DNA sequence: CAGATCTCAGCTATACTGAAATGC
DNA sequence: CGCATTTCAGTATAGCTGAGATCT
């Protein structure tokens, strides 16, 4: 066993796919733990954010917006409703649908998670300058937009 | 339902954690499908890469190097040995250990996957210029190194 | 003895599929 | 009718934990 026993293979160090995989793995371990410390599960933040920014929506529309499978939306909304962070009401104009609405408690939870994320991003991107952080966000956004079309 | 029915919340568009999560999700769906088309499972590439670049190693050393849990290394090496991509031999100097060695077949499979990754990275980073691709790799490497210490 | 290695059994959560019930 | 929505049941996999057997 040498001092370099845990150095990465060069193929991984040069591969965008694997750099994304490993970097995101570390980021998610930090992120999901911080979410859990606030009683939030993985999908809660994006669902609350979508409801706060775009207003009430059906479950199907929510799932399309934040890329969550229809059946996982059911489970997540069940949890959020149980916590009184959202309300589920029947849509009178289309009785197949539920209308999901964020509550005041939900807005407060979203704000707590926003503040948590500020600190988390600072820890996550600690080795980067302000300009580099902006550039990373810009490059990731370009790649993501391309694959969401 | 409007034309913007699937636009992302601004909170996600501005969050490094969530940009990494979504972008890597798309990248991995492409990547794992391409791996599967070559008969490779998720951990195969990094294990073969580590063995080719650093030579024979014990399972524990491999797991530390590429961040795979000891029990998942067992399963992955079982699969690679079944495919004749690696050889498992007893370490005479420390009889707790197996020594894992890449075979000629394993090197050929690694090369096939290398070539597959070239095309995949081009598709993945299609919207970025050569300079931007290099910059993305550099920024991700800096973040990853920071969290691997 | 403490600690490392390999292996297996099992657990949790994610991401996804299929199908049924209901309504447009 | 075809199609959309919600819900539930079930599958596959990743990532991880605990424990036992073996060895240094």
pLDDT category of residue B90 using cuts at 50, 70 and 90: very high
A24/B21 CB distance under 8 A: yes
Cα–Cα distance, B58 to B79 (Å, whole number): 16
Give the pLDDT score at B86.
98
High-pLDDT (> 70) share of chain B, %:
98
pLDDT category of residue A6 using cuts at 50, 70 and 90: confident
Q: Which residues of A touch B35 (CB under 8 A)?
A: none
Q: Is the pLDDT of residue B77 over 70?
A: yes
| B105-112 mean pLDDT | 97
Give the pLDDT score at B120.
97
Give the pLDDT score at B149.
81
Per residue in A18-33, pLDDT (tens digit) is: 999 999 999 999 999 9
pLDDT category of residue B114 using cuts at 50, 70 and 90: very high
pLDDT category of residue B68 using cuts at 50, 70 and 90: very high
Query: What's the mean pLDDT when you consider all of chain B?
Result: 95
Which of B136, B138, B145, B149 best tests the A interface by mutation, with the highest count of A CBs <10 A? Answer: B136
Q: CA B89 – C1' D6 distance (Å)? A: 55
Query: How close does chain A come to B107, measured CA to CA in Å?
Result: 13
* Strand D at less than 7 A from CB of A96: yes
| A37-54 mean pLDDT | 96
Per residue in B17-56, pLDDT (tens digit) is: 999 999 999 999 999 999 999 999 999 999 999 999 999 9
Q: Is the pLDDT of residue B3 over 60?
A: no
Radius of gyration, CA atoms only, chain B = 19
Give the pLDDT score at B65.
96
* Strand C at less than 7 A from CB of A85: no
Please report the DSSP string for B57-99 in residue order. Answer: B-HHHHHHHHT--HHHHHHHHHHHHHTTSEEEEE-SSSTTPEE
Cα–Cα distance, A75 to A58 (Å, whole number): 14
Q: Is the pLDDT of residue B4 over 80?
A: no
Which of A7, A25, A27 best tests the B interface by mutation, with the highest count of B CBs <10 A? Answer: A27
* Strand D at less than 7 A from CB of A27: no
Give the pLDDT score at B37.
93
Measuring from the CA of residue A97 to each C1' atom, give the nucleotide at the shortest distance: D5
Q: CA A55 – C1' C16 distance (Å)? A: 28
| B109-123 mean pLDDT | 97
Q: Which of B1, B128, B143 sits opposite A142 (nearest CB)?
A: B128
Give the pLDDT score at A14.
96
Q: Is the pLDDT of residue B109 over 80?
A: yes
* Strand C at less than 7 A from CB of A97: no
Cα–Cα distance, B43 to A72 (Å, whole number): 27
Q: Is the pLDDT of residue B111 over 80?
A: yes
A136/B139 CB distance under 8 A: yes
Q: Which of B10, B53, B137 sits opposite A16 (nearest CB)?
A: B137
3-state secondary structure chain A: CCCCCCCCCHHHHCCHHHHHHHHHHHHHHHHHHHHHHCCCCCCHHHHHHHHHHHCCECHHHHHHHHCCCHHHHHHHHHHHHHCCCEEEEECCCCCCCEEEEECHHHHHHHHHHHHHHHHHHHHHCCCCCHHHHHHHHHHHHHHHHHHCC
Per residue in A56-84, pLDDT (tens digit) is: 999 999 999 999 999 999 999 999 999 99
């Amino acid at each position: 066993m040498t001092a370099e026993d845990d150095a990465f293979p060069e193929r991984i160090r040069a591969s965008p796919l694997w750099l994304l995989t490993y970097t995101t793995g570390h980021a998610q371990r930090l992120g999901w733990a911080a979410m859990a410390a606030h009683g939030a599960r993985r999908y809660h933040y994006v669902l609350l954010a979508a409801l706060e920014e775009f207003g009430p929506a059906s479950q199907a529309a929510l799932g399309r917006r934040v890329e969550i499978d229809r059946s996982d939306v059911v489970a997540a909304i069940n949890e959020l409703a149980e916590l009184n962070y959202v309300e589920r009401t029947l849509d009178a104009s289309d009785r197949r649908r539920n209308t999901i609405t964020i509550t005041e408690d939900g807005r407060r939870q979203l704000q707590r998670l926003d503040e948590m994320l500020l600190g988390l991003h600072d820890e996550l991107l600690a080795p980067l300058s302000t300009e580099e952080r902006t550039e990373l966000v810009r490059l990731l956004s370009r790649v993501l937009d391309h694959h969401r079309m």
